[in-house]
Chains A and B, each alone.
Chain A
């Protein structure tokens, strides 16, 4: 599978500010990446599908203006949480579809966001 790097691993920000999370595919040109959100002791919730060179596809109920996704290259997708509020505090994880073969998806290490 692919090797995925996600940064930062944790971040604390003030309410009203924006935070950018990066997801890099280190050894595979990823045309598709996914962004998930995970609440404590809960499973992963798909937020959006990020497609290189085009607009992201957001899942129902996810505010596209709050969670901005940019996939400008085959190795980098970014998620920007805009005007963050405490309720945006969560664990955000990216994943890459494919890799050395079209097998199970590879996930980043996750980013823990705390908004104070």
Chain B
């Protein structure tokens, strides 16, 4: 079993819809959580960073962390075709500096 599980998709939504992404993890040692967006043949771009349970909002993006359930989510409101990309969740333990990535979810926003 992988430490971080993420549905590979693809997830196809119409423009303007809410995109809902999530990851589950098995190791309670993960304390820091990140969401990255990666366009084809580009490096990942940090979207959200959280370190506590609860919600964090930044523009159209909302990240949720539920440490008790070992579950994190990313919501994208008013989705645009330019949001079409692969979204990767990543986590880090309090001790150490390595990131552990989910497999990524491919998202397609159709005009």
Contact = CB atoms under 8 A, between A and B. Distances in A.
Given A1-B46, A104-B46, A106-B46, A46 B41 contact: no
B1 interface: no
B98 A49 contact: yes
Interface stretch (A13-21, A67-75, A77-85, A108-116): A108-116
A43 B104 contact: yes
A58 interface: no
Contacts of A103: 46, 49
A89 interface: no
Given A43-B88, A43-B101, A46-B99, A93 B41 contact: no
A88 to B, nearest CB: 17
Contacts of B36: 104, 107
Contacts of B103: 42-43
Contacts of B46: 1, 103-107
Contacts of A44: 44, 88, 101
A104 B34 contact: yes
Interface string B83-111: 00000101000000111011110100000
Contacts of A42: 103-104
Interface of A: 1, 4, 6, 32, 34, 41-44, 46, 49, 91, 93, 95, 97, 103-110, 112
Interface of B: 32, 34, 36, 41-46, 48-49, 88, 90, 97-99, 101-104, 106
8 contacts: A43-B88, A104-B46, A106-B46, A107-B43, A107-B45, A107-B46, A109-B43, A110-B43
